Amino acid sequence: MKLFSEMMAGQTLLPIIQADSVEQGVAIAKAMAEAGLKVVEVVLRSEASLDALTAIKQQLPELIVGAGTVLDKDILAQALAAKADYIVTPCVTPDLLAALAESGVPAIPGVANCADIALARDAGFREVKLFPASLAGGIPFLKAVSSVFRDMTFCPTGGINADNCADFLALPNVIAVGGTWVAKKEWVDAQDWQAITDACREAISK
Ligand code: 3PG
């Protein structure tokens, strides 16, 4: 199974797509692809999310499309049935970690403290998401755990924005940063797709 970092192939931004409809999801994904992004994450937080994921994969076959907000095994099964290319979770449980390890697709389980990191590590994961990054200790936390969990790398998400993303990315144990700031709800509501492309371009230029 490919690692998340291998799949990212140097992309340092994991842009999040929150879609209330299939059309919205596809338009957001197009705006992100326009900025040169190859990997996007559709969070499963609306009735339309899974259908949006499928439609993005059909209409933009060059994109690698993951599913986020995968809280448990049942949601994981739905995401895999929708052919998600990779999985992001906001949390870890032994059941979820075992199912992720068996899923056959890259995954970054979400950790928020040392116990979570140890749990994910025991399940074989060396790449995890830190969530919610800004509240779970942010940059000082990532620096502190680097000396203990020397073989772990992180994708911080939650509270990342244009002002702090470069500081997170400067840390040696950070693979990429994720977030919704590049596809703000007000831009989506206003169908301002150019604003999304511009924010993504700015984020990957850091
Ligand atoms: C996530 O799903 O990782 C978070 O909701 C993203 O957090 P943000 O909205 O602060 O970027």
* Cα 116 to Cα 128: distance, rounded to the nearest angstrom: 10
Closest ligand 1 atom to Cα of 68 = 2
31-57 pLDDT tens trace: 999 999 999 999 999 999 999 999 999
* Cα 76 to Cα 46: distance, rounded to the nearest angstrom: 15
Active-site hit among 41, 62, 83, 185: 41
- On average, the pLDDT of the chain sits at 97
* Cα 121 to Cα 176: distance, rounded to the nearest angstrom: 19
pLDDT category at 201 given cuts 50, 70, 90 is: very high
CB atoms near residue 51 (< 10 Å): 16
| Per-residue pLDDT, 1 | 78
Active-site hit among 2, 129, 143, 184: 129
Q: Which residue shows structure tokens 């949390």? A: 91
158-196 pLDDT tens trace: 999 999 999 999 999 999 999 999 999 999 999 999 999
Region 129-143 average pLDDT: 98
Degrees to nearest 5, angle at CA 81 with 37 and 65: 0
Residue 81 Cα to ligand 1 midpoint, Å, equals 24
| Per-residue pLDDT, 191 | 97
Query: Do 179 and 157 touch, CB atoms closer than 8 A?
Result: yes
* Cα 153 to Cα 171: distance, rounded to the nearest angstrom: 10
- The torsion of the CA quartet 134, 136, 137, 141, rounded to 10 degrees, works out to -120
User: Where along the chain do its domains lie?
Assistant: 12-204
pLDDT category at 80 given cuts 50, 70, 90 is: very high
Question: Domain 12-204, CATH 3.40.50.720 — does that match?
Answer: no
| Closest residue by Cα to residue 202 from 62, 13, 17, 42 | 13
CB within 6 Å of ligand 1 — which residues? 16, 43, 68-69, 131, 157-160, 178-181
Evaluate if residue 206 carries a pLDDT over 90.
no
pTM for this model (two decimals): 0.96
Structure tokens at 146: 């680097």
